[in-house]
Structure 1
Amino acid sequence: MIRIHRGVEPAELAAARATELQRVQTIAATRRPVQEDLGRKYEIAHQALWNAQRYKCCYCESREQSKRNDVEHFRPKARADRRPGISVDHGYWWLTWTWENLLFSCRNCNQAPAKLDKFPLAEGSAVLLVGQHPPGQERPLLIDPATESGIEHIQFVRMPHGPTTTGKWYPRPRNGSRKGAVTIKVCMLDRPDLLDLYGDYVERNVKPRTDDIRTALQEGRIADARREWSRALLTLLNPRQEYVGLSHDALDHFIPTVVRKRHQLELRLP
């Protein structure tokens, strides 16, 4: 997971918010709004979010088609499961059409049994009041890809399966990050199909490059190794690529820190 940049809010979304928010505020004056009250006009933002995120899910970084995938509400709109920190479960309905609350997500990360209406808060948080804008006194335990890089909280670790197998890459909390642990669990970033995709991606895209770099270093072709390293960074850590966070950690695994320092190979955060 890497940080995404939404860009400029579509004018159509601002217009929809002006009318829809007023409509639902009238409902909220007498009862708690439910899913059916909120409509789907926020989907006006779908294409803009898909383009801004380079056609990738904001959580798992898989490249996805625009259709049949979701406009995700980081703070759930109709109901919010805030456990373990908070037991109240009303949603953030007034943020339904707010650009800063919207993301593009694949259904495997966003729908049940994954995120859906889960929005864990840390103990001691104070839930936003109706109409209040984030963050207030809330302390989300879920990584917001629009405000922080998941690489700071999630590390991909290679787990070998045996002497003749390539092993799989598992997301783990980096340095014990609670946000990393919660995000992996909530979005199911370690589901079996993703683990297969992670492993295949590394074998096809990362390992051949690092093999070439290691060979050049072993043969004393330091200048060639540095050139190949720069090309690998430009390609694998390009935000348009799938699994940038995974590539970052795979590069670190195959060309470890001690080797990079010796040969002045810098591994930057994307």
Structure 2
Amino acid sequence: MLRFRRPKPPKGFAKEVDAARRVVARAIAAGQVPEFHPSWRKGEYKREFVAAQHGKCGYCETYLLNHPPAMEHYAPKGEVEALANEGVEADGIYGVRDRDTQQISRTGYHWLAYDWNNWLLACERCNTGWKRSLFPVREDPHPCPPTPDQPYTALLLSPFGVDDPVEHLEFSVLGEVIPRDGSEYGEATIRTLGFSRRESLRNVRQGFAADATQHARGLEQALVDGKLDIAQIHTEELISLGGEERLHAGMVRSIVLSRLGLHWSQMEELAEKLAASTPPHTKDPRLAVRRRARGQKQ
């Protein structure tokens, strides 16, 4: 998972969803389970999030072109569920079986149903197959039914949240994921989204994890040996792999943090220093070849 910059709501957004908000508020006041008008399906809204997320699912970072996108409510608008059994990946439209959830509230975070800051774009597998209406919080028991005046501490990481997912998720060279340093946010996110149960997702991550690990090791050794031209090659490759638009860039950045102890801003600073400190006549010719190859791919 990668942290993105949330797009600004389109002009007139609040006015456009005001009527739907009032319908929900009246239902709640009457003690009824509200029905929601799906305003979030509007193409204009989705396009804003597609651009902000670089066409990737906000949770698993797969390209949305390969999976039908859905506007996901981070805090569930309707019912709230608790996870009873994590389940396993299976064939089929949602790719999951034996995943059991239990309803703990008939009404969820209804006041956030039309809140722009509660929306993100997710692939159908994450949205419907795995996350569903789950929303882990630190409070035990989960405050139910949720109300606007009840405090809660969300444990599910968000691509638009304050916490950087890279700080809470750690990846192996095989693309396996575990909570970083026992992070409760990392653990809750992995369970809620089934990250450790989705072998097809790990298979896709594996190649990127192997490349990132190889270049991180190469960079570390090159710096020890004082071979700045070689260090620059590995640095540029890592910067490319961890670019916001790339698949599983969050994992790449996590591997950089694990292997090199560098946050991404520090990695970018290192790349700039190496580019400035390596005289042109000493640069490894592979740099030009790799730059040309990346330009052709783009």
TM-score of the superposition, structure 1-length normalised? Answer: 0.77
2:152 to 111, 126, 138: 138
Describe the shift of the 1:268–1:118 C-alpha distance in structure 2 as closer, same or farther (beyond 3 A).
Answer: farther
Deviation at residue 231 of structure 1 after TM alignment: 1.1
Q: Which moved more, 1:103-112 or 1:230-239?
A: 230-239
Preserved CA contact (<8 Å) 2:54 2:245: yes
Describe the shift of the 1:216–1:29 C-alpha distance in structure 2 as closer, same or farther (beyond 3 A).
Answer: closer
Q: In angstroms, what is the RMSD of aligned CA positions? A: 3.1
- Rounded Cα–Cα distance in structure 1 between residues aligned with 2:235 and 2:111: 46
Preserved CA contact (<8 Å) 1:206 1:250: yes
The question of 1:120 aligning with 2:136 is answered yes
Match in the other structure for 1:164: none
Match in the other structure for 2:199: 192
Give the counterpart letter for 1:103 in structure 2.
L
- What SS does the corresponding residue of 1:155 show, helix, strand or coil? strand
2:165 to 126, 150, 167: 150
Match in the other structure for 1:234: 239
Match in the other structure for 2:54: 54
Aligned ranges 1:71-220 → 2 under 5 Å: 71-81=71-81, 87-112=104-129, 114-124=130-140, 126=143, 130=147, 132=148, 137-147=151-161, 148-158=163-173, 168-190=174-196, 191-203=198-210, 205-206=211-212, 209=215, 213=219, 220=225
Preserved CA contact (<8 Å) 2:57 2:123: yes
CA displacement, residues 187-232 of structure 1 (integer Å, 9 cap, x when unaligned):
11121110100112334x53664576578569x5612123223312
Structure 2 gaps, min length 5 = 85-102, 270-298
The question of 1:38 aligning with 2:36 is answered yes
Aligned length: 243
- What SS does the corresponding residue of 2:81 show, helix, strand or coil? coil
Give the counterpart letter for 2:201 in structure 1.
L
CA displacement, residues 148-169 of structure 1 (integer Å, 9 cap, x when unaligned):
21111110023xxxxxxxxx22
Deviation at residue 171 of structure 1 after TM alignment: 0.7
- What SS does the corresponding residue of 1:169 show, helix, strand or coil? coil
Give the counterpart letter for 1:140 in structure 2.
A
- Rounded Cα–Cα distance in structure 2 between residues aligned with 1:141 and 1:66: 28
- What SS does the corresponding residue of 2:22 show, helix, strand or coil? helix
Preserved CA contact (<8 Å) 2:107 2:146: no
Describe the shift of the 1:29–1:154 C-alpha distance in structure 2 as closer, same or farther (beyond 3 A).
Answer: same
Preserved CA contact (<8 Å) 1:82 1:121: no
Deviation at residue 13 of structure 1 after TM alignment: 3.3
TM-score of the superposition, structure 2-length normalised? Answer: 0.70
Match in the other structure for 2:249: 244
Match in the other structure for 1:263: none
Describe the shift of the 1:87–1:8 C-alpha distance in structure 2 as closer, same or farther (beyond 3 A).
Answer: same
- What SS does the corresponding residue of 2:75 show, helix, strand or coil? coil
Deviation at residue 234 of structure 1 after TM alignment: 2.5
